[in-house]
Structure 1
Amino acid sequence: MSGLWVVLPAHQEAARLGDTLEALAAQRDRDFTLVVVDNASTDGTAAIAYEFARWAPFSVHVLHEPEKGLGCAVDTGCRYAIRHGASLLARTDADCLPRPTWTAAARTALGSGAGLVCGRVDTRRDEHGPLGRAVFRTLVRGAALFGRVRPAHRRRHGYLAPYRMHAGNNLAITAALYEKVGGMPRRPSPTDRLFVNRVRRHTAAVVHARDMVVANSTRRLRDYGVVGTARWYLGKGQGKREEDPR
């Protein structure tokens, strides 16, 4: 069995999960195990995952995490995978579409000495039009630039690697490093910045792989608006909204 496991948290994703699972089934490197973590969903999320497991071209495990929060679901999936033999972990979200070379690129980067690798995030082409997608890309790039110049992220604070905004929907990490840093913070979104900064305090082996590509949902732009989405990516959280639409 391959040591690569893909962790896929999913909360109320019945409308989108099927597309993500099909994108994983279309990977050129399918020598991996998938764990879908149903995070307290009340729709058909779990049923879709179980149905996919019947015909998937790789082994699929479906877990149930009753504690709401993206960090909780991710951490539960990663620790389950490690207990069952994972040496490499890749993660995306249940509203994203990994390109066919995604798992191969993650495996190559980790096999070349990276401890944590982040890929390139594009936008899904079935949500919004060209203008909406352009606005979304601009917001993400602006947040990434802000993160690089943010005083709290400077290396003088004990970080071993320079800061880059690593999207949680497109990460891969060795199991050993995941455990060493204490895992994903078990809390609601946003968790990615906290996790990456944990890693930066332990290793300089943090790399970016442009051939590791995931198409990201732009629905946060629809639900939050431009200002709300900008606040999210600048680390201001989801405000008064009850749930992050991912």
Structure 2
Amino acid sequence: MTRLWVVVPAYQEEALIEDTLRALAAQRDRDFTLLVVDNGCTDATVAKVRTFAAGAPFPVEVVSEPEKGVGAAIDTGFRHAIAAGATLLARTDADCLPLPGWTAAARAGLRDSRGLVCGQLTARPDEHGPLGRASFRAMVVLGACFGRIRPAHRRRHGYLAPYRMHAGNNMAITAELYQAVGGMPRRPSPTDRTFMNRVRRHTTAIVHRRDMVVQNSTRRIRAYGVVGTARWYLDRGAGRCRVDIR
């Protein structure tokens, strides 16, 4: 028997998390447990999750991880799920909208690959307007291209598989593989590239599914600007910006 858990890290997300919860409730495959990781919220985020849980179409749990950063929150969430019996793990973020076929695609991808599944990212249609969405698309494409040509990512450095664009807010992995690679780096964002490279050193079982779609928030562009966002995704900070949106 396979047990799927969906893990969502959350920090000060009272404005957006209800949209994410509704998107998860609209999944065609709802045979999963939802785990929200409270990463030090002081707003109404957790209260909104508990209100949703009372009528949710699947079990909902909340755990706390006070150590700042999405890496620590995800690692705590995944390990909690594994300890509770999870064999399949999926992740999205508390400002994202998984499309209705998301969990079904994640489950199918894990069944076929028994490894890591990377999904497709698009921009939320209710944020930032056409220019922001176009900027987001461009950054996703450029990030994927940069990752493939970056000398440090070449297979001569001990990687078993080619580099793939890995968005932490749209991924799924088997519990066995997650533990084998040592888990998510317990650090602030961005953690995706480091985690992907841990997986690449361990296995070739990495697949991309275009039907595993999450609509991503473009608010980082609004907070950091296009240049600052690009710097942040390249792990060079966001310049002078000090906005903490984790």
Normalising by the smaller structure, the TM-score range is over 0.9
1:78 aligns with 2:78: yes
Aligned partner letter, 1:77: G
Unmatched segments (≥5 aa) in structure 1: none
SS of the residue 2:122 aligns to: strand
Shift of 1:191: 0.6
Deviations 1:3-26 (Å, cap 9, x if unpaired)?
000000000100000000000000
1:114 is displaced (CA, Å) by 3.7
Partner of 2:99: 99
1:245 Cα deviation after fit: 2.1
Deviation at 1:143, TM superposition (A): 1.4
Distance in structure 2 (CA, Å) of the matches to 1:86 and 1:4: 6
- Percent identity, aligned pairs only, is 70
Q: 1:1-246 residue pairs with structure 2 within 5 A?
A: 3-246=3-246
* TM norm structure 1: 0.97
| More deviation, 230-239/163-172 | 230-239
Find the aligned partners of 2:241 and 2:90 in 1 and give their Cα distance.
Answer: 29
| CA contact 1:140–1:233 (8 Å) conserved in 2 | no
Structure 2 counterpart of 1:27, one-letter code:
Q
Q: How many Å separate the matches in 1 of 2:17 and 2:190? A: 21
Contact conserved, 1:189 with 1:237, CA < 8 A, in 2?
no
Task: Count the aligned residue pairs.
Answer: 246
Contact residue 7 and residue 90 of structure 1 kept, 8 A: yes
Task: Give the AA of the match of 1:217.
Answer: S
TM-score (norm 2): 0.97
Q: Does structure 1 retain, via aligned residues, the 8 Å contact 2:122–2:215?
A: yes
**What SS does the aligned partner of 1:235 have?**
coil
Deviations 1:108-143 (A, max 9, x none): 010012400000000000001112211111012111
Q: For the structure 1 residues 3 and 123, does the alpha-carbon distance in structure 2 shift closer, same or farther, using more than 3 Å as the test?
A: same
Q: Bigger shift: 26-35 or 226-235?
A: 226-235
Helix, strand or coil at the partner of 1:110: helix
Following the alignment from structure 1 to structure 2, what is the Cα–Cα distance between the partners of residues 242 and 37? 23
> In the aligned structure 1, how far is the partner of 2:84 from the partner of 2:238?
34
> What SS does structure 1 have at the residue aligned with 2:29?
coil
Mapped to 2, the partners of 1:59 and 1:7 lie a distance apart of: 12
1:9 counterpart SS class: strand
